[in-house]
Chains A and B, each alone.
Chain A
Amino acid sequence: MAIMSFIFVFFFFSSLQPILSLYEDQVGLMDWHQQYIGKVKQAVFHTHKTGRKRVVASTEQNIIATLDLRRGEIFWRHVLGPNDVVDGIDIALGKYVITLSSGGSILRAWNLPDGQMVWESSLHGPKHSKPLLLTRNLIIEKDNVLIVFSNGRLNAVSCIDGEVLWKKDFEEESLEVQQVIQPPGSGFIYVLGFAASSQFEMYKINAKNGELLKHESTAFSGRFTGEVSLVSSETVVALDSTGSILLTISFHNGKISSQQTPVSNLLEDSPGLAVIIHPSVTGIFAIKTDAATIFIRVIGEGKLEVVEKTNHETVVSDALSISEGQQAFALVQHAGSSIHLTVKPAHDWDSNLLKESIKMDQQRGFVHKVFINNYIRTDRSHGFRALIVMEDHSLLLLQQGAIVWSREDGLASIIDVTTSELPVEKAGVSVAKVELNLFEWLKGHVLKLKGTLMLATPEDIAAIQHMRLKSSEKSKMTRDHNGFRKLLIALTRAGKLFGLHTGDGRIVWSHLLQSLHKSESCRQPIVLNLYQWQVPHHHALDENPSVLVVGRCGPSSDALGVLSLVDSYTGKEFSSLSLVHSVAQVIPLPYTDSTEQRLHLLIDADKHAHLYPKTPEAIDSFQSEFSNVYWYSVDDDNGIIKGYALKTKCSSNVADEFCFDSRELWSIVLPSESEKIITTATRKLNEAVHTQAKLIADQDVMYKYISSNLLFVATVAPKASGEIGSVTPEESWLVVYLIDTVTGRVLHRMTHHGSQGPVQAVLSENWVVYHYFNLRAHRYEMSVIEIYDQSRADNKDVWKLVVGNHNLTSPVSSYSRAEVITKSQSYFFTHSLKAIAVTLTVKGITSKQLLIGTIGDQVLALDKRFLDPRRSVNPKQAEREEGIIPLTDSLPIIPQSYITHSLRVEGLQSIITVAAKLESTTLVFAHGLDLFFTHYAPSRTYDSLTEDFSYALLLITIVVLVAAIFVTWILSQRKELQDRWR
């Protein structure tokens, strides 16, 4: 009886829901995390004093970060909000990082060593204007002062506590302040700007109290473009709006004098529209035209002289004062596969302080920005280091003619990700260099065994941990049994394609797409998306897999498209196409040709469908399915969803047999005064569904409505499309639709009154889960809709099913109008969401979990069972056995189910799930500014032994058992013999 009760207790505990979490020593075994900062906009060096040398950078992703100057690692990093654009950074007092952000409204000081915020001031003013930050060593009554011009107001802010000491408004309506200058050693500030685009204004302000000392203005016949370049403390250069006349304006002693010089006087050939690039180096400025960069020196009273004209792509750094009264600046020019870095003193163009040539990877493109810093060598001469930002957004530090470190910060702006298999391990190909020899293998297992038996010393434990983390098994370049090793192919905004290894996150290859490079035919290339083009698996195994990158020449939707095909193994672009039509949509079709190339349908702006690849074989296989291919478009601006079928060949293009006309079949027009489309969701193409039946309590069965043509659309009241809380619950509603995209049939429509977006939704199998804000309850909610096919529900005769006399597996058409029923339920949820995804397994047998990107930039796993519409307050015994959880009003957040554990994926954008070959496991990749990858098993790894399973212990146990069997056998033999002799 005791044994029986023990067994009962045992089974009771084992049937409880397992908590999925990691142990501390499992961190980093299967996951990796990479931190990036994005494309650097401005960088300030901090190399004074002793202590660690660092560089402070602000980026286009609104990040302020300090990097270690030796190795490029991040010391600290702050991600400002998406609306909090950094306008300027500087270092004050040698210990504060000052940032001006949000269009000059917010001034913050951060502690340089640890990144703690010291103070924050908000600067408001009468009107919006260009924000300017000035941190010369201006001292007012022993107080270091920052001069900030923003929102039409000049502020003097104390460095110590952020207090505004004085302010001066410039309320004149048309005044556009371009420069704020504080000549060194003087007690006044010049504010320079244009009024009504044609009048130059100069204000002289007392730096001590903000008193206006003098105001001068001069009118010009032309108009200004806006940019001015400061060439000396009392001279500026400006271009007029036609880009053909240079104005030299000097305001010596408050008197404005100016001189006009046509650009054509300086250059023989007409350069076209010129733009000032301002290195703000004393005496020199540069103008840039389409063809060339021209450096011009100002000599004396407004006289200009061309010092150099280059046709190369040239980037100029800001001036750097290297010693008393001496300034230097850097030029970077491209020459073939290397770049030339030249540092010149400001006063003497012809001499060089430094001239270096550095070999540069072609895949980084052109240099976009350069920042320089100097240091004193042991022989007291000046050395220079340069931080350069490349076209692919990577950041490199150059010193002594070499690249000290580089950061692939392009990965902070990933647009799309797909995966590719690695090459198959071939018998002939040796992977011996990563393979361990037998002795090491044995040693490793002995160590592991020691760890299991708790005999290991702390050093052993460290060695075991190191061995686990650095396992060569996970970073091999070949396919593995479990499908854990794959290539993540990431397309970044800069048009660069990266191949990342899932084992350790290293960059296997990277490739700047040449076809999406700026060229004569394609002036403003934009990369759009990434698709799997060829996934060879059965009969075309010797082909390499490839991906399709779709781009467009220009921001408008009718710009011509560009296609690029890239080999997934090598990253080489093996084919590219400049299309003669635009690309509005790309539809991967579920058909492939004999080499496993997937057929794609590209829809252009005129609603013509173009079939790719353009091969006769593709068109043959497409013709057979022609009448079954449909497409739809969602016009979210006008609230119209339209469905199309393909008609005959294009009427306009006679010769093109790959082009088809579209015929409109249906349209759903949502009333624009009450509904605005904010979110759509569809099922993933590659999602596998194991069964069409859902078993419910009491052996009953419901048939899921599984269709890949299901579209989820969420609309809100137009008034409520803004921020949460901007409308009252009465005038806000959320309507969700489930639409069949073949027939345009609305399968389900539901209204949530008093609810508001933003809506995040995920559609999988026969259910959709979406997240929104409930204004009445003041809480976020998550709802689930499950959709079932009622017309199949009669299939209940066991004998018919046994014999197979049923039509459950025969192909279904959307036109058969299945009778559907839906079940739905809503639950409160604590977090707001950034992204939502669902786990994906290879056969779809494993139970699903939702992966939720929380506002705290973490990924939370939530069992789908919590979002079951059939949850009730008191589930019956049979329902409990089925796994139905008693109803609660809110969804639980279990701290152990954060799959990012202690890490954060800053600026989380999306979560991508990929099925591994092992049915229990999903590969999860989350990206934003940071990248995070892990393996996740929603129902634990029921189909494999865990990584820390001790094979050695198993082996020893078996050996010991066999030995024991032999020994006892011999003993028993002997005893029997003795018994017989007795």
Chain B
Amino acid sequence: MEKGKGVMGAGRRWAVDFSDNSTAPSSRDIPDPPGFTRASVDQDDSAVSRQKKDAEANWKSQKAWEVAQAPFKNLLMMGFMMWMAGSTVHLFSIGITFSALWQPISALQGVGKVFEPYKDNKVDLLGPKLLFIALNLGGLALGVWKLNTLGLLPTHASDWVSSLSPAQEVEYSGGGIPL
């Protein structure tokens, strides 16, 4: 995820478009430098640029797969932390469990954003997305499972009767040893 963000460069302020292939020099205020002809460049570079585009697409899809696999490391890390936290309820274990629940949820919410930089007509993002979602769901399941081992899920009868007030009695009897 982190890496994905870095590549995306969301905060881009300016850019030089090297692949500017407009042929009309008049559209520019500045004349082309002497000896520079646009047409020749275009013709020479068309194969090169296609190659470049392919490489970029490749790179993007590779990165997308990387990003999609990132939660797996997280999952391992979380598992280790949970094992460390033990199965008793206290602040530490609760904190870990809730972060284990929150991370996948927030990641799932931002699936589109995570893969936005790799959006390309040529790149198929469905595979990485599915993997990403699956891994995060796995993380979520791990969190829920942890919650259950901590006894914080109402899955037992005891959770539903613990504050059940005593049944009312029909009869009333009083008395004792005479005064």
Q: Which residues of A463-512 have CB atoms within 8 Å of chain B's CB atoms?
A: none
Inter-chain CA distance A629–B170, complex, in Å, is 9
CB distance from B162 to the nearest CB of A (A): 6
B157-179 to A contact mask, C-beta < 8 Å, 1/0: 11111111111111111111111
Q: Does B127 contact A (CB under 8 A)?
A: no
Inter-chain CA distance A154–B91, complex, in Å, is 80
Quick check: which of A88-96, A700-708, A727-735 contacts chain B, the rest being far away?
A700-708
B138-159 to A contact mask, C-beta < 8 Å, 1/0: 0000000000000100111111
Q: Is the CB of B169 within 8 A of A814?
A: yes
Q: Is the CB of B158 within 8 A of A693?
A: yes
Q: Does A796 contact B (CB under 8 A)?
A: yes
Q: Is the CB of B166 within 8 A of A631?
A: no
Q: Does A812 contact B (CB under 8 A)?
A: yes
Q: Does A603 contact B (CB under 8 A)?
A: yes
Q: Does A458 contact B (CB under 8 A)?
A: no
A262-302 to B contact mask, C-beta < 8 Å, 1/0: 00000000000000000000000000000000000000000
Q: Is the CB of B92 within 8 A of A4?
A: yes
Inter-chain CA distance A636–B175, complex, in Å, is 13
Q: Is the CB of A701 within 8 A of B175?
A: no
Q: Does A714 contact B (CB under 8 A)?
A: no
Chain B residue at minimum C-beta to C-beta distance from A589? B172
Q: Does A24 contact B (CB under 8 A)?
A: no
Chain B residue at minimum C-beta to C-beta distance from A642? B175
A945-979 to B contact mask, C-beta < 8 Å, 1/0: 00000000000000000000000000000000000
Q: Is the CB of B169 within 8 A of A557?
A: no
Inter-chain CA distance A814–B171, complex, in Å, is 7
Inter-chain CA distance A700–B157, complex, in Å, is 8
Q: Does A529 contact B (CB under 8 A)?
A: yes
Q: Does B90 contact A (CB under 8 A)?
A: yes
Q: Does A628 contact B (CB under 8 A)?
A: yes
Quick check: which of A31-39, A338-346, A801-809, A855-863 contacts chain B, the rest being far away?
A801-809
Q: Is the CB of A699 within 8 A of B151?
A: yes
Chain B residues within CB distance 8 Å of chain A: 84, 88, 90-92, 151, 154-179
Most buried by B among A550, A693, A700, A707: A693
Q: Which residues of A1-60 have CB atoms within 8 Å of chain B's CB atoms?
A: 4, 7-8, 11, 15
**Contacting residues, chain B, for A680 (C-beta < 8 A):** 176-177
Q: Is the CB of A812 within 8 A of B157?
A: no
Contacts A8-B92, A796-B157 given; 19 further ones with Cβ under 8 A? A11-B92, A589-B172, A590-B172, A603-B175, A628-B172, A631-B173, A632-B173, A633-B178, A680-B176, A680-B177, A691-B163, A692-B165, A701-B157, A701-B162, A798-B157, A798-B160, A812-B168, A813-B170, A814-B170
Inter-chain CA distance A632–B170, complex, in Å, is 17
Q: Is the CB of A587 within 8 A of B84?
A: no
Q: Is the CB of A709 within 8 A of B171?
A: yes
CB distance from A501 to the nearest CB of B (A): 29
Q: Does A586 contact B (CB under 8 A)?
A: yes
Q: Is the CB of B166 within 8 A of A583?
A: no
CB distance from A699 to the nearest CB of B (A): 4
Most buried by A among B163, B168, B171: B171
Inter-chain CA distance A634–B84, complex, in Å, is 61
Q: Is the CB of B175 within 8 A of A7?
A: no
**Contacting residues, chain B, for A703 (C-beta < 8 A):** 161
A353-371 to B contact mask, C-beta < 8 Å, 1/0: 0000000000000000000
Q: Does A336 contact B (CB under 8 A)?
A: no
Q: Which residues of A607-632 have CB atoms within 8 Å of chain B's CB atoms?
A: 625, 628-632
Contact of A691 among B164, B174, B178 (CB under 8 A): B164
CB-CB under 8 A for A691 and B84, given A708-B172, A801-B160: no
Q: Is the CB of B166 within 8 A of A706?
A: yes
Contact of A689 among B88, B166, B172 (CB under 8 A): B166
CB distance from B137 to the nearest CB of A (A): 24
Contact of A632 among B151, B155, B168, B175 (CB under 8 A): B175
CB-CB under 8 A for A584 and B179, given A7-B92, A693-B158, A709-B172: yes
Q: Does A221 contact B (CB under 8 A)?
A: no
A545-566 to B contact mask, C-beta < 8 Å, 1/0: 0000010100001000000000
Q: Is the CB of B157 within 8 A of A801?
A: yes
What's the A-B contact tally at a CB cutoff of 8 Å?
150
Chain A residue at minimum C-beta to C-beta distance from B85? A4
Contact of B88 among A7, A802, A881 (CB under 8 A): A881
Inter-chain CA distance A270–B63, complex, in Å, is 127
**Contacting residues, chain B, for A813 (C-beta < 8 A):** 169-171
**Contacting residues, chain A, for B158 (C-beta < 8 A):** 693, 695, 699-701
**Contacting residues, chain B, for A708 (C-beta < 8 A):** 169, 172
CB distance from B14 to the nearest CB of A (A): 20
Inter-chain CA distance A305–B15, complex, in Å, is 138
Q: What are 25 residue pairs bridging A and B, where the CB atoms are less than 8 Å apart in the complex?
A: A4-B84, A7-B91, A7-B92, A550-B179, A584-B179, A589-B172, A631-B173, A632-B175, A633-B178, A634-B175, A643-B173, A680-B177, A689-B166, A691-B162, A692-B166, A692-B167, A699-B151, A699-B159, A700-B158, A701-B161, A742-B173, A795-B157, A798-B156, A809-B167, A814-B171
Inter-chain CA distance A550–B179, complex, in Å, is 10
Q: Does A215 contact B (CB under 8 A)?
A: no
Chain B residue at minimum C-beta to C-beta distance from A700? B158
CB distance from B145 to the nearest CB of A (A): 15
**Contacting residues, chain A, for B167 (C-beta < 8 A):** 692, 706, 808-812
Q: Is the CB of A811 within 8 A of B169?
A: yes
Inter-chain CA distance A649–B160, complex, in Å, is 47
Q: Does A101 contact B (CB under 8 A)?
A: no
Inter-chain CA distance A529–B179, complex, in Å, is 9
Chain A residue at minimum C-beta to C-beta distance from B174? A587
Most buried by A among B88, B158, B174: B174
Inter-chain CA distance A601–B175, complex, in Å, is 10
CB distance from B164 to the nearest CB of A (A): 6
Q: Does A61 contact B (CB under 8 A)?
A: no
Q: Is the CB of B176 within 8 A of A682?
A: yes
Q: Is the CB of B164 within 8 A of A692?
A: yes
**Contacting residues, chain A, for B171 (C-beta < 8 A):** 628-630, 709, 742, 813-815
Q: Is the CB of B174 within 8 A of A601?
A: yes
Contact of A585 among B88, B164, B168, B178 (CB under 8 A): B178
Q: Is the CB of A630 within 8 A of B173?
A: yes
Q: Does A350 contact B (CB under 8 A)?
A: no
Q: Is the CB of B178 within 8 A of A709?
A: no
Inter-chain CA distance A8–B164, complex, in Å, is 34
**Contacting residues, chain B, for A814 (C-beta < 8 A):** 169-171
Q: Is the CB of B173 within 8 A of A636?
A: no
The 4 closest A-B pairs by CB, nearest first: A587-B174, A801-B160, A699-B156, A630-B173
**Contacting residues, chain B, for A590 (C-beta < 8 A):** 172
Q: Does A690 contact B (CB under 8 A)?
A: yes
Inter-chain CA distance A552–B177, complex, in Å, is 16
CB distance from A27 to the nearest CB of B (A): 35
Q: Is the CB of B92 within 8 A of A625?
A: no
Inter-chain CA distance A586–B179, complex, in Å, is 8
**Contacting residues, chain A, for B151 (C-beta < 8 A):** 699
Q: Is the CB of A585 within 8 A of B175?
A: yes
Q: Does A532 contact B (CB under 8 A)?
A: no
Q: Does A226 contact B (CB under 8 A)?
A: no
**Contacting residues, chain A, for B90 (C-beta < 8 A):** 11, 15
Inter-chain CA distance A812–B164, complex, in Å, is 15
CB distance from B138 to the nearest CB of A (A): 25
Most buried by A among B88, B167, B173: B173
Q: Is the CB of B170 within 8 A of A633?
A: no
Q: Does A150 contact B (CB under 8 A)?
A: no
**Contacting residues, chain B, for A699 (C-beta < 8 A):** 151, 156-159
**Contacting residues, chain B, for A690 (C-beta < 8 A):** 163, 165
Q: Does A162 contact B (CB under 8 A)?
A: no
Contact of B179 among A585, A643, A692 (CB under 8 A): A585
CB distance from A578 to the nearest CB of B (A): 17
Inter-chain CA distance A411–B162, complex, in Å, is 44
Q: Is the CB of A811 within 8 A of B170?
A: yes
**Contacting residues, chain B, for A682 (C-beta < 8 A):** 176
CB-CB under 8 A for A811 and B168, given A691-B163, A798-B156, A798-B157: yes
